[in-house]
Amino acid sequence: MSLKVLLVSPPIFDFYYSFHRSEPLGLLYMKEALAHYDWLTVTIFDARYKGTSKVIPTPEVFNYLHHLYVKDTSWFSLFHGFKRFGYSYDTIVTCIKENEYDVVCITSLFSAYHYDVEVLVERIKNETGAIVIVGGWAVWADTNILVNGRADFYIRGDGELTLPILLQEIYSSNGNISHLPKLIDSDNSSVNEFFMHTFPHRETWYTYYGKQIANIICSKGCVYHCDFCSIHSRYRYYQRTIDSIQQELEYLYAHGVKIVNFEDDNFLFNRKFAQQLLSLMKYYHNKGMYFLCMNGITAPNLYAVLDDALDAGFLEFNLSLVSSYEEVVKQHNRPALQEIIKDIAWKSAGKVRVIVYIIAGLPGATVKTCIDDILFLASLPVMIGFSPLYLLPGVRLFESMGVPDDRRLCRGSALYSFGEGFSREDIAALWKLCRFINRLKIADAINDEVRVHYEFYKKACHDHVWHYRDEKGLWHEGFSFSASLPESFHICDINGRTRLIG
Ligand code: SF4
């Protein structure tokens, strides 16, 4: 009898989620690593594959956000309504029962979502006889979850290395697991040879705006040490072989993939490797493939090979400025990237769309520095990406700020905790300013819609109260804030045309 194993990519519960990056790359690697064992049958249950979502009651823990997340049809709208993104737990549990899986492995990729993973674990343990294994970033970041965790095993590290050994143990002991530890660590001291030389084969394909898309990853780790990030403390940086990447691109091309999304944390690092990769990309771009890097491209890496990258078939460049203030980024061990990003923005204008992200609420920054960051990006031919600060357990910076015991509050949408001097309402006001600017950047002309929104924006600047628009088009008074927003500013659209607003 073979061991029946289900690898589960669970649904996400949040105010917002983008399905585009959902392809469960980690599970695909694990399935690949398990493919050659004839005593195993392995299936992936990807709860987010169909892209379905359902509004569900907002958990009480987020009640303090009600005045910020209102139903708003204006250009200033933020989130509204808490949702489940993906299939329900009933569907997953029924699948496990009906197919009599012996082992269920669940990925838990983010500490703020781990609470919901435990709810699923609890249901599987109560309603089926399956052994449950949980792994992923959340386990690596926060082994505290073991204290109350109901799963039989928590895997810390690369699952494709650990899972074959653990499953072998479960199989040979006929499911008697009492002698095994609850926490299983993988050896991350050396490079993961399997990752370097292998790529996962897919059975299902995601689409992005009607085109087949696949995620790939060419390297692990990052050479920088930003203190609000945990990537650098988990892996030392290393890359896959270029041969293996070429084989994966050829495989994806042969299966009709039109867009490849790189999920690296330090994409295009190492100039020689970057040039080899870009020539490969150009080759496939000439055959009709396009590329994204939704996890971001490190700006200096891109800058070093910009001319080649502009011809390589990128649909957009996602860059991270964090802050335009050198003293702010330095405080967080991060290089100042303002000038490089400015240069990339102007050289890419009209060729490749650029989105630049700032982090709002970092310790050391102020409301004023954040407004300056926003106005700096408003003046460039880029769209603005706004990331409210989110907290990661185990990261010294956040531990010193106080990571909440209820890890659900660690997500960006929780707007939970910021550096000194930031109120939650000010962060929401800055976010609305970004949304307004982005809409202005894509507006063809100063028409009535622009004028109406500008009037309400001006009112917000004077009265320090935002208004929202209901479904009938009526405006209502919303939350108040204290930030001093600029009444007039320059906007540059993505093609490089600048105009004064106000
Ligand atoms: S550059 Fe990005 S991935 Fe690297 S340490 Fe900084 S935030 Fe993390």
State the closest ligand 1 atom to the C-alpha of 232, by its place in the atom list counted from 1. Answer: 5
**Residues 61-85 pLDDT 10s:** 999 999 999 999 999 999 999 999 9
Number of Cβ atoms within 10 Å of the Cβ of 197 = 12
H or E stretch including 254? helix 242-254
**Residues 83-128 pLDDT 10s:** 999 999 999 999 999 999 999 999 999 999 999 999 999 999 999 9
Mutate to test the pocket of ligand 1, among 219, 220, 229 (most ligand atoms within 8 A of CB): 229
Residue whose C-alpha is closest to residue 277's, from 324, 239, 221: 239
State the closest ligand 1 atom to the C-alpha of 223, by its place in the atom list counted from 1. Answer: 4
**What integer pLDDT is reported at residue 354 of this predicted model?**
98
Mutate to test the pocket of ligand 1, among 220, 235, 268, 298 (most ligand atoms within 8 A of CB): 298
Question: Is any ligand 1 atom within 6 A of the Cβ of residue 231?
Answer: yes
Answer yes or no: do 215 and 166 share one domain: no
**Residues 420-440 pLDDT 10s:** 999 999 999 999 999 999 999
Which of these three, 396, 423, 443, is where a domain ends?
443
Answer yes or no: do 18 and 122 share one domain: yes
Answer yes or no: do 153 and 267 share one domain: no
Write the residue with the smallest CA distance to atom 3 of ligand 1: 265
Which of these three, 118, 152, 185, is where a domain ends?
185
Residue 377, domain extent: 206-443
Which of these three, 428, 443, 458, is where a domain ends?
443
110 lies in a domain? yes
| Mean of pLDDT values over 294-312 | 97
**What integer pLDDT is reported at residue 143 of this predicted model?**
78
pLDDT above 90 for 142: no
The answer to whether the CB of 428 falls within 8 A of the CB of 370 is no
Answer yes or no: do 156 and 271 share one domain: no
Residue whose C-alpha is closest to residue 460's, from 65, 72, 76: 76
Question: Is any ligand 1 atom within 6 A of the Cβ of residue 220?
Answer: no
**Count helices and strands in the chain by DSSP H and E runs:** 18, 22
Answer yes or no: do 174 and 215 share one domain: no
Question: Is any ligand 1 atom within 6 A of the Cβ of residue 222?
Answer: yes
| Mean of pLDDT values over 313-324 | 98
The answer to whether the CB of 492 falls within 8 A of the CB of 498 is yes
Q: Which residues of 139-161 are buried (b: 16+ CB within 10 A; e: fewer)?
A: bbbbbebeeebebbbbbbbbbbb
pLDDT above 80 for 189: no
State the distance from the centre of ligand 1 to the C-alpha of 396, rounded, in angstroms: 15
Residue whose C-alpha is closest to residue 291's, from 321, 264, 260: 260
**What integer pLDDT is reported at residue 145 of this predicted model?**
87
pLDDT above 80 for 408: yes
Strands (E) across 167-210 are located at: 183-185, 206-208
Answer yes or no: do 171 and 243 share one domain: no
Query: Cα separation of 345 and 268, whole Å?
Result: 18
**Residues 163-177 pLDDT 10s:** 999 999 999 999 899
pLDDT-based confidence at residue 388 (cuts at 50, 70, 90): very high
Query: Could you tell me the CATH number of the domain that includes residue 129?
Result: 3.40.50.280
Write the residue with the smallest CA distance to atom 1 of ligand 1: 224
- Mean per-residue pLDDT over the chain, rounded: 95
Answer yes or no: do 176 and 300 share one domain: no
State the closest ligand 1 atom to the C-alpha of 322, by its place in the atom list counted from 1. Answer: 7
Question: Is any ligand 1 atom within 6 A of the Cβ of residue 226?
Answer: yes
59 lies in a domain? no
Residue whose C-alpha is closest to residue 267's, from 304, 230, 234, 311: 304
Reduced DSSP (H G I as helix, E B as strand, rest coil) percent helix, strand, coil of the chain, to 5: 40, 20, 40
pLDDT above 70 coverage of the chain, percent: 100
Mutate to test the pocket of ligand 1, among 231, 329, 330, 362 (most ligand atoms within 8 A of CB): 231
**What integer pLDDT is reported at residue 148 of this predicted model?**
87
Answer yes or no: do 9 and 116 share one domain: yes
Query: Could you tell me the CATH number of the domain that includes residue 241?
Result: 3.80.30.20
pLDDT above 80 for 190: no
**What integer pLDDT is reported at residue 234 of this predicted model?**
79
Answer yes or no: do 228 and 375 share one domain: yes
Answer yes or no: do 368 and 249 share one domain: yes
| Mean of pLDDT values over 389-411 | 95
Alpha helix (H) residue ranges in 49-188: 89-99, 111-127, 137-141, 145-148, 159-172
377 lies in a domain? yes
State the distance from the centre of ligand 1 to the C-alpha of 334, rounded, in angstroms: 8
| Mean of pLDDT values over 264-293 | 96
pLDDT above 90 coverage of the chain, percent: 92
Tally of domains in the chain: 2
Question: Is any ligand 1 atom within 6 A of the Cβ of residue 266?
Answer: yes
State the distance from the centre of ligand 1 to the C-alpha of 320, rounded, in angstroms: 9
pTM of the model: 0.95
Secondary structure class of 388 (helix, strand, coil): strand
489 lies in a domain? no
The answer to whether the CB of 469 falls within 8 A of the CB of 73 is yes
76 lies in a domain? no
pLDDT-based confidence at residue 267 (cuts at 50, 70, 90): very high
265 lies in a domain? yes
pLDDT above 90 for 146: no
The answer to whether the CB of 325 falls within 8 A of the CB of 365 is yes
Answer yes or no: do 140 and 272 share one domain: no
37 lies in a domain? yes
pLDDT-based confidence at residue 266 (cuts at 50, 70, 90): very high
72 lies in a domain? no
Question: Is any ligand 1 atom within 6 A of the Cβ of residue 332?
Answer: no
Answer yes or no: do 246 and 325 share one domain: yes
pLDDT-based confidence at residue 188 (cuts at 50, 70, 90): low
Task: Output the six-digit token pair for 463.
Answer: 């009265």
pLDDT above 90 for 472: yes
